[in-house]
Structure 1
Amino acid sequence: MNNYLKYIKDDETIDDLQLKELQLIQKKDGFKFGIDAVLLSDFAQVKKKHEVMDLCTGTGIIPFLIYGKYNPKSVYGLEIQEEMVDMAKRSVKLNSLEEKVSFINEDLKNIEYLKKLKKFDVITVNPPYKLNNAGIINPNDKLAIARHEILCNLEDVIYAARILLKDNGRLFMIHRPERLADIFTIMRKYKIEPKRVKMIHPKIGKAPNIVLVEGQRDGGAYLKWDAPLYVYDESGKYTKEIDSIYWRE
């Protein structure tokens, strides 16, 4: 670990992703990745020939998980917060992945910039979930930015995906079930056809609290529902499906 100290600051830590010895730099007391990132990277269908872009990438957890799981041609992450991009770029050096994983510090609402980028086979995104209409929120609060639609909203994200996707390219998104009608409506507005949905339930008997959605740029109208996934079993332990996703089996 001593060799790693040159990559981190005093208020940061290095987390072992338990996947191909990959490491991720995160704040000790800041926003930490959770099950959402792991579920999204598992839900995404990525091939070795693909080029992938992760929007709202934060400190880069999803690009690193996608690289570790699928080893695509290249993986990019786009994030507006400069401090997070700095951490993500240091994680690239930490893992010696300069030829595979890259990060861009930019606003996804900067449409002219997006149009200058290459087109991607796959877009992934774990966007802010919460509508920015409940109480006073500090716009400089990094946790709030990650959770609330302060700097971008659902339409901004889907419009950006439309611009960046290749013809028939795929968008993979994780969100909350109560926003599903909005997701479908906005995806169709920008001609990204909803193709697959998977509901995530905390446990059997509980309503879903996470939804995974796959869309295809200019795809035909056909929607498939995957079998639901339950996080915990009746004894309160992770289900076999979750253990498998976390590479514990």
Structure 2
Amino acid sequence: MSEAPETNGFLLGGRVVYSQPRDGFRSGIEPVLLAAAVPARAQERVLEAGCGAGAALLCLAARLPGISGCGIERDPALAALAARNIAANGWAARLAILAGDITAPPIAGESFDHVCANPPWHDGAGTPSPHPSRRAAKIAAADLPARWVVALAARLRRRGSVTLILPAAQLGRALAAAAAAGLGAARVLPLWPRAGRPARLMLLQARKGATGGEQILPGLVLHDETGRFTDAAEAVLRHGAGLVLG
């Protein structure tokens, strides 16, 4: 059987070689923003759930050469593609991909300094995509996002961080799931499409065993009045700058 067609490109202004499926679910700017918000340091380990073709892990590895990481992806074809992307960038010694489901992870007894995800938050009330991989990436049963948060928290060392990128409309559910999983001191970074426009996406970060309620941060404006990325967004998306949430 022939492999599904792929497109070949780059992330972070050419610093990362990246292939992804031509059809089905394709990465946008979300994994790059997610990776920028993970507060990892050299020698720390990061786990990503639902890693797809590996965009977030690749961007994180480019930004922080001293970290190691693991991605879990339930679609075997995407998991294999992520592994090929890692090899193409020369990072197989410090990044690994496992085919499996984060709610029944194919790893036992391992803990990580940081975990991250772009979970499937949509409830399927709208018109679903005809492509299976797009549906799987976006649409979830009502309790699935909360189960993802619980599963991520279970793989986390004490005081380690969980970082999520999610639709703004799902922030309340995400905060409730984080609190129920023992995650506190939540920080929320709105991603404004333009100045004065409502945020459609949020970055949420919380720490295991931490106390304190949520704090809304000033946020990042993605586009200027002409539709181009702002200088602050370009610094993250093209030049590998980090986003500090806490």
Fold shared by both chains (TM-score > 0.5):
yes
- Give the distance between the partners of 1:146 and 1:203, measured in 2 at CA: 26
TM-score under structure 1 length normalisation: 0.88
Contact 2:29–2:237 (8 Å) recurs in 1:
no
Q: In the alignment, which residue of structure 2 is the partner of 1:92?
A: 86
Deviations 1:53-93 (A, max 9, x none): 00111111111010001124311100111110011111122
Q: Which runs of 5+ in 1 are unaligned?
A: 1-7
| Number of aligned positions between the proteins | 239
Deviations 1:173-232 (A, max 9, x none): 000111111111111111111421101111112111011100101111143322121111
Q: How far apart are 1:246 and its partner, in Å?
A: 1.9
User: What percentage of aligned pairs have identical amino acids?
Assistant: 18
Contact 1:188–1:194 (8 Å) recurs in 2:
no
Contact 1:194–1:213 (8 Å) recurs in 2:
no
2:195 equivalent to 1:204? yes
Q: How far apart are 1:128 and its partner, in Å?
A: 1.2
Greater length-normalized contact order (CA 8 Å, ≥ 6 residues apart): 2
Contact 2:103–2:151 (8 Å) recurs in 1:
yes
- Give the distance between the partners of 2:48 and 2:152, measured in 1 at CA: 10
Code of the residue aligned with 2:16 in structure 1: it is L
Structure 1 consecutive aligned stretches of length 4 or more whose deviation exceeds 6 Å: none
Q: In the alignment, which residue of structure 2 is the partner of 1:30?
A: 24
Code of the residue aligned with 1:107 in structure 2: it is D
2:47 equivalent to 1:47? no
Q: Which moved more, 1:158-167 or 1:233-242?
A: 233-242
1:223 to 214, 217, 221: 214
Q: Which runs of 5+ in 2 are unaligned?
A: 242-246
1:166 to 157, 160, 178: 157
Code of the residue aligned with 1:188 in structure 2: it is A
Larger Rg: 1
TM-score under structure 2 length normalisation: 0.89
SS at match of 2:32: helix
Q: How far apart are 1:9 and its partner, in Å?
A: 4.8
Deviations 1:142-181 (A, max 9, x none): 1111111159821111011111001111000000111111
- Give the distance between the partners of 2:185 and 2:199, measured in 1 at CA: 19
- Give the distance between the partners of 1:171 and 1:76, measured in 2 at CA: 14
2:74 equivalent to 1:80? yes
- Give the distance between the partners of 2:77 and 2:143, measured in 1 at CA: 18
